Structure 1
């Protein structure tokens, strides 16, 4: 369930980020910059949580030492 919610959060955050970038590029309004400052960290956090959910899946469900060793260094960042 966490993995599904992370995917929906990435989709929502990327749409919000796209609209805020478009608003900043077209209007240069302070509200557009505020929207960008809110949507960019949300997008970055969504990517971070999605990558850590992949680490959880590889470490706990697949039980493949080769794949989990690839992601183990990345998961603890």
Structure 2
């Protein structure tokens, strides 16, 4: 297993642990931090393992952070 995949797995574990903790802002600050950390990891995974593995890691990250993705889709639909 490459270093980039290990980092992606650690990101997923951290995201699940952060989701278990209570939050007053519905986890939005944590989601922003996870996105800020996850985008470079996703780029590293794609660079080191190829685009198909990168797409699988992207899909896994989108399933963890589904509400930011849903709100982004709604915002894009309003803009179009």
Q: Sort the TM-score into its range (normalised by shorter chain).
A: 0.3 to 0.5
Q: Which structure: greater helix fraction?
A: 1
Q: Normalising by structure 1, what TM-score? A: 0.43
Q: Normalising by structure 2, what TM-score? A: 0.41
Decide which structure has the larger Cα Rg and report it. 1
